[in-house]
Each structure stands twice: as structure tokens, then as C-alpha cells.
């Protein structure tokens, strides 16, 4: 069999990449080891720029069930410290509470709409690269077979077979000092504060909902997620207390007692489920030595793993997929300039490095001990300054990402601001085709087809070129098209093809 692109892994990142490639006219083949979608809920929502990215592909309303655009969150947490985002004039942090299994379901439905072939129960077992492509060995229900492909993408998670077969090192650190326990569990009704939706625990005090709550002995989370069979209860402890076998409610209750110093009676969730009950010992922080080896590329957890604190995983991985999709499609079509595909690693690896830095910093802030309590008190003071809140919000959302575009306009390389265009069309509606767009606020002739933008005091420039991944490739403040601005636009369009 011959395929232009094979994606190993039908999780959110692999499916998102498949959709992006299909929008660009390339139909990939997706191989997934599992025979059906997992019912395990590995994440409970989306945090950051990815929420707006889904909106710009028309996928946000599929998850929410309504057409309203996303709104920034009024608050969040950093290292279990509350952040008041209402102090920001331009809040970049967006949240969407939705189970990962629903995200995977939605992305698979969209991929099927776009004629993507997904083979479940098919596992990659070997690969051999040449200058022109990759020969894959795979195994499915009917037995082993081979595939010839131009490119192979590893979207197969932290234990990536693709990464291992390609010989890409995965350096980092592993710690076994931490135990995290998470389960759906019912709490006594009298503990629920109707005003806040959190808990008011006798002998301890209030515990707000959804936020990491740190004590000097560990971490506790109470998350009454909408539509869940029961609230999600989570604890994190250091230095032992691990019981043999799967997690039980008794073990979770004992852990909560050690963290909070009081006993909460947990009951089993009602209904058929699926019910979460998971225990994780230790953790990994690792970053692939390179994101590309010849015709093999890595996205998502195959390229980077880190603490889940702050919820950065899907924000990072899904945007890897969106960054790679249009570049890889241009390479396959033969329209990519030299070096375009290399910019996937040069752009996304530094972003992964920042996420690793952020997750390590937050892990330090939730650790037990009086010294950490002192550090947290100082950090809380710093978060009283809106400027620091803005920097943290930019870091957690990914709004501080700026790529090198070869254009010195302040907008170039940044995520395009939300704009209302002519005819009442939102920018997010314009970009659902996954293509580049030239947006003109002058009504002039740029020598290329352009979408008209509304003029006004809030217009950030006179014209801009938007890459398929939502970042500004070029912008100008020239009042009208002139020889210099037209030449710079032409260079940008050649460097960043649609």
C-alpha cells in the first residue's frame, strides 16, 4: 500500500493533524493500536489559545453546542495560587470544560467527514527510512502488512513507538516521590456550599471548586464538572503511602485525610459511568532531542511530556498539530519553499521548553514544607500586581509565543487578534477553511485577493497576512499599498505559502 502521510495515533493530536491535512487537500492514513476509543478520561478540559484555535476551525461550537464565541476566564490558578484575571484589560486565558473522550469523539467525527481513513486495531511495528519515504511494518486484525509513505508522524503518546523506532532520544527526568489519585466520588451534600459550589469542611474550612488546593502535606482538588457522574476528587502526596492494587475510595479517603487533616466520607458514583479511578506514581518531564528525523516527525506527547498541572498538555499538542499540518501539506504538494518544514521544530520546540519550565515552576510551588509556604506567600504578593498577572496569563495560555516571520511589524509572529470583518463576519469564521488569508483595511489594491476588514480606531494595522495556524505572517501600517509594502507582502507569501 502507498500513502502520502501516515499518522500513528488516533488521540486528539493525531486526529487534529489529520483534519488539518485534509483541509489542505491531503488525506492521511491514521493507524491506532487500540481497537476503539478509550473511555479513560485523561483530561477534563482545554486551557489556553487552543480554545480560540478550535473556534477558528468551527470546532468550538461542536463541543459547546452553541454558536457563541469563547470568552476569557475570570480567574484561574498557577501553582495552586489563585489568579484574578479580571484585572487584565486584554485577558488571553480561555478555558473549556469538556472531557477528553468527548474531544476525541468530536475530532474523529470531523476527520471522517473530511474522508480520513482511520484504522483501529492496527499497530506500527517497524520502519525503514530512505531519501524518498518511509517503509512501515504494521500489524492488524488480518495480520502483518507493509506501507510505503512519504512521511510518518508519531502522535502515539509519551511511550511513542515511532520515536523509539526512529532512534530519537527522549532526555529528561523521572521522579517517583509523588502519588496522584483521582476518582469520581460523591461527597456528603451538607459539605457543598451552594454559594460557591465548593466545599465547606468542618474542622478545616472552605475548599473552592476546580482549583488546586495546597496544604503543607499535599494537594486536594474538588471538581464538580458539568455532566459528570459525580464530582472529581483528586489528591497528590509526596513520600509514600502507596497501597497495593487499583485505587479504592477508601484509599482516596485516607489520602484526603492526610492532606487536609480531617475525614471526608466519599461514596461511589451512581450510574453506569464511565467512572474515573486512577492512581499515578511519580512523573516524567521529557523533551525529544529533535522533533524531526528525516521523514519522521513527532507531535504532542510523543515529543514532550510534563506535569499536567495548569492543564497545558492539549494546548501544546493540538497547536503542534495545527502548526505542522499546513506545512507538511505544502511539502507533499510540492509548493513549500526550502526549509518550511524545518520551521515546525524551530517554532514548536521552544514553546515546549517554556511549558516544561512553567510546569516545573508550578510543581515547586505545590510541594510540601514550610519553605514552600514562604515562597508561596511571596508569589501571592507578586500576583497582586496586574503586570505579573498578565505575564503569567500569557505564559499559561501561550499568548506570549512569537515566531520569527522576517517582518518587523509588532503583530508579525503573534497570534492574530479577534477581528470583525466586513459583512459582520468574524475572523474565526473566515479561517475555517484552514488557508492563509490576506486581510485589507485600506480598500487598496495589494496585487492579491484580499478580504475586506472594517476600518476603525481599533484596527491594529492597515493590512495583514494570516497563516493557516492563526499567526500573523506579515503586517503593515502603510496607509495605502505602495511598492515597498507590496514587495514585502510578496516575500512573505513566498516564505509562508497558503
Domains of the chain: 2-172+285-397 (3.50.50.60), 174-283 (3.30.70.2450), 414-495 (3.40.30.120)
Contact 223, 210 (CB under 8 A): yes
Integer Cα distance of 290 and 97 in angstroms: 32
Integer Cα distance of 261 and 249 in angstroms: 17
Cell matching residue 27 = 488525506
Q: Is the dihedral of CA 173, 177, 179, 180 positive or negative?
A: negative
Backbone angles phi, psi at 271, to 5 degrees: 85, 175
Name the residue among 149, 90, 15, 75 with its Cα closest to residue 414. Answer: 90
CA triple 170-354-495, angle to 5 deg? 90
Integer Cα distance of 27 and 4 in angstroms: 8
Integer Cα distance of 206 and 478 in angstroms: 56
Answer left, alpha or beta for residue 73, where phi above 0 means left and psi between -120 and 50 means alpha: beta
pLDDT per residue of the chain (498 residues) written in tens, 0 to 9: 789 999 999 999 999 999 999 999 999 999 999 998 877 666 778 999 999 999 999 999 999 999 999 999 999 999 999 999 999 999 999 999 898 889 999 999 999 999 999 999 999 999 999 999 999 999 999 999 999 999 999 999 999 999 999 999 999 988 877 899 999 999 999 999 999 999 999 999 999 998 889 998 899 999 998 877 889 999 999 876 777 789 999 999 999 999 999 999 999 998 777 788 888 888 889 999 999 999 999 999 999 999 888 888 899 999 999 999 999 999 999 999 999 999 999 999 999 999 999 999 999 999 888 899 999 999 999 999 999 999 999 999 999 999 999 999 999 999 999 888 888 889 999 999 999 999 998 888 888 888 888 766 678 899 999 999 999 999 999 999 999 999 999 999 999 987
Integer Cα distance of 314 and 12 in angstroms: 8
CB atoms within 10 A of CB 187: 19
Distances (CA, A) of 162 to 112, 236, 450: 24, 32, 41
DSSP single-letter state for residue 431: G
The residues pairing with 126 across neighbouring beta strands, listed in sequence order, are 137
Cell matching residue 322 = 495545527
Name the residue among 193, 216, 152 with its Cα closest to residue 368. Answer: 216
For the question of whether the overall pTM of this predicted structure is more than 0.85, the answer is: yes
Verify cis geometry, omega within 30 degrees of 0, for the bond prior to 393: no
Amino acid at each position: 500500500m502507498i500513502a502520502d502521510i501516515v499518522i500513528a495515533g488516533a488521540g486528539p493530536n493525531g486526529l487534529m493533524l489529520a483534519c488539518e491535512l485534509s483541509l489542505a487537500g491531503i488525506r492521511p492514513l491514521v493507524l491506532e493500536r487500540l481497537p476503539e476509543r478509550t473511555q479513560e478520561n485523561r483530561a477534563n478540559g482545554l486551557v489556553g489559545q487552543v480554545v480560540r484555535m478550535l473556534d477558528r476551525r468551527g470546532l468550538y461550537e461542536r463541543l459547546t453546542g452553541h454558536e457563541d464565541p469563547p470568552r476569557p476566564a475570570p480567574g484561574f490558578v498557577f501553582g495552586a495560587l489563585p489568579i484574578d484575571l479580571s484585572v487584565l484589560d486584554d485577558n488571553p486565558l480561555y478555558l473549556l470544560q469538556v472531557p477528553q473522550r468527548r474531544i476525541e469523539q468530536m475530532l474523529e467525527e470531523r476527520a471522517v467527514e473530511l474522508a480520513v481513513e482511520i484504522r483501529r486495531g492496527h499497530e506500527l511495528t517497524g520502519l525503514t527510512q530512505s531519501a524518498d519515504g518511509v517503509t512501515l511494518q504494521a500489524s492488524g486484525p488480518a495480520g502483518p502488512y507493509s506501507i510505503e509513505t512519504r512521511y510518518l508522524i508519531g502522535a502515539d503518546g509519551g511511550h511513542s513507538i515511532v520515536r523509539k523506532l526512529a532512534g530519537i532520544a527522549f532526555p529528561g527526568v523521572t521522579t517517583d516521590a509523588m502519588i496522584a489519585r483521582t476518582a469520581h466520588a460523591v461527597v456528603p451534600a451538607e459539605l457543598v456550599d451552594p454559594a460557591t459550589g465548593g466545599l465547606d469542611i468542618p474542622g478545616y474550612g472552605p475548599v473552592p471548586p476546580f482549583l488546586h488546593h495546597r496544604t503543607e502535606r499535599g494537594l486536594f482538588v474538588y471538581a464538580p464538572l458539568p455532566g459528570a457522574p459525580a464530582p472529581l476528587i483528586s489528591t497528590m502526596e509526596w513520600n509514600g503511602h502507596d497501597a497495593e492494587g487499583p485505587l479504592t475510595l477508601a484509599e482516596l479517603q485516607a489520602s484526603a485525610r492526610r492532606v487536609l487533616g480531617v475525614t471526608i466520607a466519599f461514596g461511589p458514583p451512581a450510574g453506569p459511568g464511565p467512572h474515573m479511578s486512577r492512581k499515578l506514581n511519580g512523573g516524567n518531564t521529557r523533551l525529544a532531542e529533535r522533533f524531526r528525523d528525516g521523514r519522521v516527525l513527532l507531535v504532542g506527547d510523543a515529543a514532550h511530556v510534563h506535569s499536567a498541572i495548569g492543564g497545558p498538555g492539549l494546548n501544546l499538542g493540538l497547536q503542534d498539530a495545527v502548526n505542522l499540518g499546513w506545512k507538511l501539506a505544502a511539502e507533499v504538494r510540492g509548493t513549500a519553499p526550502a526549509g518550511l518544514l524545518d520551521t515546525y521544530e524551530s517554532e514548536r520546540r521552544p514553546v515546549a521548553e517554556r511549558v516544561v519550565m512553567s510546569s516545573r515552576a508550578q510543581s515547586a510551588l505545590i510541594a510540601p514544607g514550610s519553605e514552600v509556604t514562604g515562597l508561596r506567600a511571596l508569589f501571592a504578593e507578586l500576583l497582586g500586581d496586574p503586570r505579573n498577572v498578565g505575564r503569567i496569563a500569557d505564559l499559561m495560555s501561550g499568548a506570549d509565543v512569537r515566531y520569527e516571520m522576517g517582518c518587523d511589524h509588532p503583530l508579525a509572529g503573534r497570534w492574530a487578534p479577534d477581528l470583525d470583518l466586513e459583512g459582520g463576519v468574524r475572523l474565526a469564521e473566515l479561517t475555517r477553511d484552514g488557508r492563509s488569508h490576506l486581510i485589507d483595511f485600506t480598500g487598496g489594491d495589494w496585487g492579491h485577493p484580499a478580504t475586506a476588514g472594517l476600518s476603525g480606531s481599533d484596527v491594529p494595522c492597515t493590512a495583514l497576512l494570516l497563516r493557516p495556524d492563526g499567526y500573523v505572517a506579515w503586517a503593515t501600517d502603510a496607509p495605502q499599498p505602495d511598492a515597498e509594502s507590496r514587495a514585502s507582502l510578496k516575500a512573505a507569501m513566498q516564505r509562508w505559502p497558503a
